[in-house]
Amino acid sequence: MYQRILANFSIALEAVLANKLRSLLTGLGIIFGVAAVISMMAIGSGAQEEILEQIRLVGVNNIVITPIVEQEESELGEGESEEGEEKNLSSGLTILDTRSIEKTIPGVKSVSPEIIIDTYIIKNARRRSAKLVGVENKYFDLSGFRLDQGKYFNKDHLEYGKPVCVIGKSIKSKFFSKEDPIGKKIKVGSHWLKVIGVLEERHISKKSISNLGIRDYNMDVYAPLQTVLIRYENRALVTEARIKLYNRSNPEEREKFPNYHQLDRLVVQVAETNRLNGVAQVISKLLKRRHNGIVDYEITIPELLLKQQQRTKSIFNFVLGAIAGISLLVGGIGIMNIMLASVLERIKEIGLRMSIGAKKADIAYQFLLEAVMISVTGGLAGVILGSAIAIGVSEVADIPTILSFGSIILSFGVAVSVGVVFGYTPAKRAANQDPITSLRYE
């Protein structure tokens, strides 16, 4: 039995090698079909991972509140007001808003305020621009940060504004490449801060930074919120400059101080996903009341935006997968057509083999094996081409791609199945030829 199968395999291999160009053209559909499946699945997996990465970056079940320039509404013309009527003023986004949201809105699990200051870092005669971020410990939990070494802020750090900081991984690499940063001091802006912790590296793609407005967390310096307010900047303090900001007769002075918000970002984590929209609406009403009816904030739900983006990419990947599947189908049809033509060309050969003792099964095996060989060879070439395309797209277009063993096995298995399915009809037709008629065929 095995000898017969090996003999049929040898004959099929000779037939394929004897017609190299035809075999290559027959297998092109399989090659490009498999390549399309692998490359599309790699791009789709990369897109999926990018979405999950973005969700991890913005946090789960989070509502993000950001300050915006004050929006004014008037029906009297440009900047006019009725005599004696006072213009409503907003104190901006403040820590008091944070405490109010925590105490009054049900369903809120945690609230994390942030102050972000563009500054610079100096150490050992090296200077680099960076961002100083004033936060509380809950910020690290909400954003999914983990410590690589050291510790987070303690109660004294947070309450009394101690000059301490937690640094990103890139800060350590650039300024403490040959020493342990824990316990050392680094100059951030005009103040020296003691390093008490180093965060694990966050792998952030350029697209994530662009799409979500996310900064490079690895180059950030994190200090207690009170430290930033006391030692760096507190925009909620009433100063002469701030008073001029609200003076309608001095628009030029106002332009110099466009940001009157104490906080630059406020992240609210909701306990249950299905309550995100409801909580966001309540927060909007609460802030509007606290800000004297002035809408100088923007409320967004990043996870919902990401889910919509994920759905869009899923539909796109489905369409691409369907196109790749059609390519394999066309390749299979091409194999069947060429093999049927090959049966007609080799009728005399079929009659000769059957006249010297070959059975119908031998003839069927021969043509079926030819189709499978073309499919297997085309599948292997397609795997190489598809992998190369996926890697090339990742390098050239900066699109994340993930090559998985499962996608390679799936596409190769489909290629072999196509050879078996579409090679069956030509093989059956060859086996059913009448040997006497075949020998007379010209």
Ordered by start, the domain boundaries in the chain are 2-54+308-440, 61-302
123: β partners: 126
Task: Give CA–CA dist 74/161, Å, rounded.
Answer: 42
- For residue 307 the two structure tokens come to 């889910």
- For residue 192 the two structure tokens come to 């020296």
- 């093999």: which residue's tokens? 339
Mean pLDDT of all residues belonging to the chain: 77
- For residue 266 the two structure tokens come to 């406020």
Cα dihedral value 289, 238, 236, 209, nearest 10: 120
Most confident of 135-149, 305-319, 365-379: 135-149
pLDDT tens-digit readout, 65-108? 888 865 444 444 444 444 445 556 777 888 899 999 988 888 88
DSSP H or E segment with residue 114: strand 108-123
Helix (H, G, I), strand (E, B) or coil at 11: helix
pLDDT tens-digit readout, 203-228? 765 555 555 555 678 889 999 999 99
Helix (H, G, I), strand (E, B) or coil at 89: coil
Helix (H, G, I), strand (E, B) or coil at 354: helix
- 């004297």: which residue's tokens? 292
Specify whether the CB–CB gap between 147 and 240 falls below 8 A. no
Give me the count of residues in the chain: 442
Q: Is pLDDT above 60 for 5?
A: yes
Supply the pTM of this predicted model: 0.57
Specify whether the CB–CB gap between 236 and 93 falls below 8 A. no
CA contacts within 13 A on the Cβ side of 97:
33
Task: Give CA–CA dist 225/296, Å, rounded.
Answer: 22
Find the helix packing angle between 302-345 and 360-396, rounded to 10°. 140
What per-residue confidence (pLDDT) applies to 69? 62
Q: Is pLDDT above 60 for 181?
A: yes
Helix (H, G, I), strand (E, B) or coil at 174: helix
Task: Give CA–CA dist 89/63, Å, rounded.
Answer: 25
CA contacts within 13 A on the Cβ side of 335:
38
